[in-house]
Amino acid sequence: MIMVQALFTAAVLAASPVRVWTVTFGGIKADELVCVAEDDLGRVLAGGSTASYSTGDLDGWVVCLEPDDGEVVWERPYGGTGEDAITDIIPVRDGSCYLIGHTSSMGNGESDLWVVKIDREGKTLWERTYGGEFKDAASSGALLPDSSLVAAGNTWSEGAGGSDAWLVNIGPDGEVQWARTFGGNRMERAFDVSCVGERLIFVGTTYSEGGCGEVLVVWTDLRGMEKHRLLWGRSGYDIGKSVAVNESGTAHVVCWSKSTDCDAVLISVDSTGSLVREHLFPMGSDTRLEAIADMGQGRLVIAGYTETRQAADTDVFVWGINPDCSIGWSNVAGAAGNDAFYDVVLCSGDRLVVVGSTTAADRADTNGWVIALGGF
């Protein structure tokens, strides 16, 4: 573990958060952290993939951290001899967690949707794979009121053709309770899912409807039956990456909108699937919004990264978004090399935790990166 003194600048447009701690993790190969959650004890769980500590090509990886200082409580790889990765962590009320992602080490096809249920110490309670003979994977998950899991991703093994967006409801014992596909004869994918009361919402992209790639927003009931759908797009291809639903039921979706550059767009969708607002952040460079969280009182937080073509590197940012979509504060970090933020969560004590990857100082491979921000 290496402590990183990252260079941060804070735009004093509102009460800007301060860095509480920052840590990196990794070995001599490529490692990254792409998801983060808070467990029932208030600890930080960061997940992703590791080549440094893998039993095969790539293993799923979880690091459990103390919330006050980022000290490691435990860390574990998960997987087999192939390529395995964890893309989301879903805490359960009894202290266990679902780890979801994809695996080529086990299962039925090229890769399968993969779920591992663990206890508070990271020990495996059970693991299951789901899928057919082709590539199937999960990008995100959400806990339902009955403590079952809904995993969202894509499947090449089921559906109407090509890759379909896919919801799979998995019970506490690992058995499939229902599964639904969404798509046409081209490509669809779900990137994020959330449970809101008696409904689900997922966001992603579709190439079967609209133009050359449209943002797809779908509301369903708790059985995955579609209720409302919105397509949104501009002249290039567009992807809905992450969704946060506020107390009034409005869903805020961060999007990639790619033509020449990748533009940063925030759209808001009401509970009937109607577009409420769209907002373009004029950044002047490739800007990839990866994660969004609701802060209450109309405020949002967004994490992502920007690419500087001339310098051939990427820098990371966390923005505080005001109710009018203006950027209230901005924390920016980065040095030479490629850095990325992939997920953000609001934890107890009004603390934000952001995870991603950063280029190691002594080589081209990446390390997992976790930053805690406080002092709002």
Tokens, residue 82: 């192939």
Residue pair 79/128 in contact (Cβ under 8 Å)? The answer is no
Of the two residues 192 and 8, the one the predictor is more confident about is 192
Which neighbouring-strand residues pair with 275? 269
Q: What's the confidence (pLDDT) of residue 21?
A: 96
Q: What's the confidence (pLDDT) of residue 195?
A: 97
Of the candidates 168, 282, 300, the residue with the CA atom closest to the CA atom of residue 246: 300
User: What domains sit in the chain, N to C, each tagged with a CATH number?
Assistant: 13-374 (2.130.10.10)
For the chain, percent of residues with pLDDT exceeding 70: 92
> Does residue 237 register a pLDDT over 90?
no
DSSP letters for 252-302: EEEEEEESSSEEEEEEEE-TTS-EEEEEEE--SSEEEEEEEEEEETTEEEE
Q: What's the confidence (pLDDT) of residue 311?
A: 55
Tokens, residue 61: 């990886």
Q: What's the confidence (pLDDT) of residue 334?
A: 67
> Does residue 310 register a pLDDT over 70?
no
| Range with lowest mean pLDDT among 77-86, 237-246, 356-365 | 356-365
d(CA 25, CA 265): 31
Reported as a single tens digit per residue, the pLDDT across 285-306 is 889 999 999 999 999 999 999 9
Beta strands across the sheet bearing 199-206:
188-196, 199-206, 214-221, 226-232
Q: What's the confidence (pLDDT) of residue 162?
A: 85
d(CA 302, CA 153): 21
Average pLDDT, the chain: 90
Tokens, residue 79: 């997987």
Quickly tell me which residue has 């591992």 as its tokens.
116
Q: How far apart are the first and last CA of the chain?
A: 28
CA distances (Å), origin 200, targets 2, 38, 195, 277, 282 = 39, 21, 5, 21, 31
Mean pLDDT, rounded, for 23-27 = 91
CA distances (Å), origin 174, targets 23, 85, 90, 171, 236 = 34, 19, 14, 5, 40
Q: What's the confidence (pLDDT) of residue 368?
A: 94
Which DSSP category does 241 fall into? Answer: E
Q: What's the confidence (pLDDT) of residue 3?
A: 32
Out of 156-165, 193-202, 355-364, give the one with best mean pLDDT: 193-202
pTM, rounded to two decimals: 0.92
pLDDT category at 212 given cuts 50, 70, 90 is: confident
